[in-house]
Chain A
Amino acid sequence: MSAPLLEVRRVTKRFAGIVANEDVSFSVAEGEIVSIIGPNGAGKSTLFGCVTGFHRPSAGQVFFRGQEISGLKADRICRLGIARTFQIVQVIADMTVLENVTTGAFLRHPRRRAAMGLAAELLAVTGLTDKQALLAAALTIADKKRLEVAMALATEPRLLMLDESMAGLTPVELKQIMALLREVRKRGVTLVVVEHVMEAVMQLSDRVIVLNSGRKIVEGTPREVVADPRVIQAYLGDRYRA
């Protein structure tokens, strides 16, 4: 069995009196789609930040392809091969869709022609080709999310981490983005997804990790996790044990 792509080892993160993550450990193998779920305040976004370089873990380590990345800056981590999206979608509003993706592509392709070529290709993958000349500010939320994914893919990551990308999408948009993510996995990118939308979690994930109050409480296949009484208790409280 080969070494995991991402290894989170006993990561703890404290913020002036609050313990946002406590002793969280898990691994992600290459080619997997792993979901991280948990009620609000469980520490999902903080964990995200620790892995992607926006927070420095108070304790514990993060390894990527065998190399320790805990404490490295976010831009360095991106260059090493981890890309991410944000909970509140971030795109470059004043640029066109094509220019946005080109910006991401410049990371591995410093020349304009090559970068634009890769960008055009990724626009096709994400289904945004016919909107490429629009200003990013003019897009719908769903399209902005697709654009964000395209931009992240343009940095040619090995691991793509998505922060609640499904929030606020209609059922049709949801289907589209799930198809996109499967396509992304086919292209050789491993996915770690923080999600609330259970339908997506169930249908997409190979494995699910459940956080509650900063700790990992359960890990397993979607079916195992959903039936686990600890998970039900975390979301619904004591009185609703099935």
Chain B
Amino acid sequence: MLSSRASRIAVAAAVLAALVAFPLVFTHPFPIHVLIIVFLYALMGVAWNVMGGYAGMLSFGQAAFFGIGGYTSSFLFVTYRLNPWAGMVVGGVLAALTAAAIGYPCSHLRGHYFAIASIAFAEIVRIHFNNWKLIGAAEGLTIPTQPASLAVFQFGSSKAPYYYIVLAFLLLALALCWWMSRARMGYYFRAIKESHDLAMVLGVSFVRYRLLAIMLSAFITAVAGTFYAQYVLYLDPESVLILPISVQVVLVTMLGGAGSVMGPVIGAAILIPLSEITRVKLGHRGTGIDLMIYGALITLISIYQPRGVWGLLSGLARRRAPTPAGPALATQELRR
């Protein structure tokens, strides 16, 4: 996109520096909160991207993994005083195993059929959690406040530590995604997205790689769930396991550009502040205008720019740069 590698790194460094400095400069809690939610959805978007944007499994049920992560770590803390960081790993593993269990029989489902299966799965989880006394059922689960410390993953009313943690998670996830997109795994995901048959004749077991994608995606989403639980210290099924959350994750990624590393970040950066601000300005009376706008926006984006911002930018770049000829490109690719 940008002319040289050096300038790209410079821009990235500048943005990163700005993000790191942000809570130190703008100390009002609301903007920090908005950015935390931006990073949270970007993180979930990156997770969705792995299975959806790259491997082609369009999941509309990510909320299930979000909830499994949050509930696991919270339940283990409340009941067994297990450290939330450890609980986070347990939650991630549990979510990944659940993903494998549901993903395996769904190995042959594509497109709409997979999407609806994911909705069915997530709804089953929500209904179950709504009735599961062990974790609080519909009343929810409250995490007792602890004195603020990194060790217990709680920071009282101070938002900055949460900001830095979720930003760190996001950066880690982005690094993973970037590595994946350039490695064999990413190429194989994209082959599977194109066609199961084609993947097979290239020696790729689509079942194995689909499971890999789903499990990775579930793990990261569950981690986001634990973060959220520690941030708000209260979970209930109607807040964390609902379809609108899953849809929001998809939209954030689609708007930014599914199948690109930075897509979810761009999409979250645009969509989350927009929905937060319209919610505050227009939605506080429960009139639904903010969501009407949201719905209209989604419809328009799917029609006019389904490849998202990143798709728009790469389309422009492709049109401007002449196709380089000759073996020079292969070496250029290798150097990137």
Contact between chains at A120 and B194 (CB < 8 Å): no
Rounded to whole Å, the gap between the CB of A153 and the closest CB of chain B is 11
CB neighbours of B198 from chain A (8 A): 86, 90-92
Contact between chains at B334 and A104 (CB < 8 Å): no
How far apart are the CA atoms of A103 and B198 in the complex, in Å? 11
Contact between chains at B202 and A129 (CB < 8 Å): no
Quick one: which of A54, A94, A104, A132 contacts B202, CB cutoff 8 A? A104
Interface band, chain B:
20 to 34
In the complex, residue of chain B having the shortest beta-carbon distance to the beta carbon of A107 = B203
Q: Which B309-327 residues have C-beta < 8 A from chain A?
A: 323-327
Residue among B182, B194, B205 with max Cβ neighbours from chain A (10 Å): B194
| Interface residues as binary, B199-218 with A (CB distance below 8 Å gives 1, 0 otherwise) | 11111111000000000000
How far apart are the CA atoms of A113 and B330 in the complex, in Å? 10
B184 close to A (CB within 8 Å) = yes
Tally of A interface residues using CB under 8 Å: 44
Q: A95-B190, A113-B334, A120-B327 are in contact. Are A78 and B201 (CB under 8 A)?
A: yes
Quick one: which of B182, B191, B329 contacts A112, CB cutoff 8 A? B182
B23 close to A (CB within 8 Å) = no
Contact between chains at B194 and A94 (CB < 8 Å): yes
Residue among B202, B324, B334 with max Cβ neighbours from chain A (10 Å): B202
In the complex, residue of chain A having the shortest beta-carbon distance to the beta carbon of B199 = A75
CB neighbours of B184 from chain A (8 A): 106, 110, 112, 115
Residue among B198, B201, B206 with max Cβ neighbours from chain A (10 Å): B201
CB neighbours of B194 from chain A (8 A): 90-94
CB neighbours of A107 from chain B (8 A): 202-204
A sample of 23 cross-chain residue pairs with beta-carbon separation below 8 angstroms, ordered by A number, consists of A74-B197, A75-B199, A75-B201, A75-B204, A78-B203, A86-B201, A90-B194, A90-B197, A93-B194, A94-B193, A94-B194, A95-B190, A98-B329, A98-B333, A103-B188, A103-B191, A107-B202, A110-B184, A112-B184, A113-B334, A116-B334, A132-B329, A133-B323
Given known contacts A83-B201, A94-B193, A106-B187, what 9 new A-B pairs fall within 8 Å (CB)? A75-B201, A75-B206, A98-B329, A112-B184, A120-B327, A124-B327, A132-B329, A154-B202, A155-B203
